[in-house]
């Protein structure tokens, strides 16, 4: 259940951005989660709804973009998407590589903010 800790961090960061933007209600939050980030999507959604209560994020829609793992293959000298997390092997030439270029993301991409009604 580390998703609860992550969700609490999201609420804290987004609330701060909302405050700096002059307040309002958050309609949606978009996250980028790498395939290697070990986040269980359903658990995260549940945790998120729970920690949003009573904050400007209450009722916000959660959009999760899953970021695939991309490795750099030294043999092909280029970046390639990894088809399986069980084998860090270039799908083109079979070279094993630990050079990960993408896939560990745990990021807040953007927030949709509804202005406070005046």
Partner 1 sequence: MTAPRILEVRTRILKANDELARSMRREFERLGVLVVNLVSSPGTGKTTFLQHTLARFVQQGVPVAAVVGDLETDNDARRLAASGAPVRQIMTHGMCHLEADMVQQHLSGWDLASLHYLFIENVGNLVCPTSWDLGESVRLALLSVTEGEDKPLKYPGLFNTADLAALTKLDLAEACEFNRELARDNIDAVRPGMRIIETSAKTGAGMEEWMAVLVERRQALLASAGARS
Which residues contact partner 1 by CB under 8 A?
1-2, 5-6, 9-10, 13-14, 17-18, 21, 24, 27-28, 31, 36-38, 85-89, 96-98, 100, 104, 106-115
How many Å apart are CA 40 and CA 49, to the nearest integer?
Answer: 14
Q: Give the end-to-end CA distance of the chain in Å, rounded to a whole number.
A: 39
Q: In angstroms, give the least distance from the CB of 53 to partner 1.
A: 19
Nearer to partner 1, 85 or 93 (CB): 85
Tokens 């804290």, located at residue: 12
Nearer to partner 1, 29 or 54 (CB): 29
């Amino acid at each position: 259940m580390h998703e609860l800790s992550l969700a609490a961090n999201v609420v804290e960061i987004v609330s701060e951005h909302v405050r700096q933007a002059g307040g309002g209600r958050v309609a949606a939050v978009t996250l980028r989660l790498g395939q290697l980030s070990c986040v269980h999507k359903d658990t995260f959604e549940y945790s998120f709804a729970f920690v949003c209560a009573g904050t400007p994020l209450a009722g916000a829609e959660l959009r999760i973009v899953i970021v695939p793992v991309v490795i750099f293959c030294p043999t092909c000298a280029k970046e390639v998407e990894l088809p399986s997390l069980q084998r860090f092997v270039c799908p083109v030439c079979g070279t094993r590589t630990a050079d990960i270029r993408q896939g560990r993301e745990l990021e807040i991409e953007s927030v949709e903010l509804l202005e406070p009604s005046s």
